[in-house]
Chain A
């Protein structure tokens, strides 16, 4: 606790020091004569426009969000800082019907909720075919590849044929032909 108190005192001192130095600088600026030429008119730079916060909430993740045609990210998104005014927000995701809305954003900010609905005509590939790199990386999806099972099946067939040939060629105990007795 004493350490925290000491830190608070130190922080307060620093703040006071900064305030004092700022005040002394302003005083000095006011007392000093102007250094500019007599005929020049000083123009102050325009103040930056105030920004407004816009929160875009989408009911599905990984939906692409565009504001005024520019991609700003994928859902879920952190609140965006936009200049007040009219904006068009559009949200798209594969397998869902796109959503688009226009709003007038003022300095107090706004929130936009999108509830995308499934697109029955173009359903998303929820069970995608694994790629070659999945197999190379030992992904469990490898067993879904048709050629894996074709290879296994081929090996089984070849093995069965070899066993059959070996057995029929006398590799095991063969039967010795006994001809008929002629009357």
Chain B
């Protein structure tokens, strides 16, 4: 394309228009990504196949509520600052900080149904977390994480473990939740004999 042809009004107009379009779209796309990647907490319901475990399967329909609690090491004075309860996803997800300084996220049944990956005898539920501070402060010890599956106000499955702190954006953590023998029928959503 010759210089004279390049600077004719029509090609110039098209080039400017394309540049403008790209310039407008890029900010919109960057906004949609929401900044840093979330940390993925993946809860996996035990399928009862682990020989050394409680060996009770959990089906998705048995779970009415999932609660995750991150409890800082209180003996070191670690805590979450007080935070008013916040609702997400139409009220199906609530986050808050308890009076004991623990961070609590509660996922109700509609959210679980909509987001769980059901595999029949087991299921997985991913919870994306936006990490607000990634500073590795040596004064902050690894907190304890407690996960409970609840059904009609009763805990039917749970697990507890320490997590490496701080959590990093883009990382993922798999946490297997076990169903004890005491609630094995509830975990299958069947009435006890």
Contact = CB atoms under 8 A, between A and B. Distances in A.
A168 B128 contact: no
A163 B29 CA distance: 8
A150 B95 CA distance: 45
A175 interface: yes
A167 B39 contact: no
Chain B: number of interface residues, binned into ranges: 35 or more
Interface in B108-158: 115, 127-133, 135, 137, 139-140, 143
B93 A163 contact: no
Interface string A160-183: 110111011010011111111111
Given A167-B32, A168-B34, A179 B140 contact: no
Contacts, number: 100
Interface in B63-84: 70, 72, 76-81, 83
B28 A160 contact: yes
Interface residues of A, number: 26
A168 B130 contact: no
A168 B129 contact: no
A153 B24 CA distance: 10
A157 B31 CA distance: 13
A163 B132 contact: no
Contacts of B21: 153, 156-157
Nearest to B71: A181
A181 B38 contact: no
A178 B79 contact: no
Contact of A183 (B14, B34, B140): B140
A175 B132 CA distance: 11
Contacts of A170: 88-89
B143 A181 contact: yes
Interface in A140-160: 144, 146, 149-150, 153, 156-157, 160
A67 B32 CA distance: 72
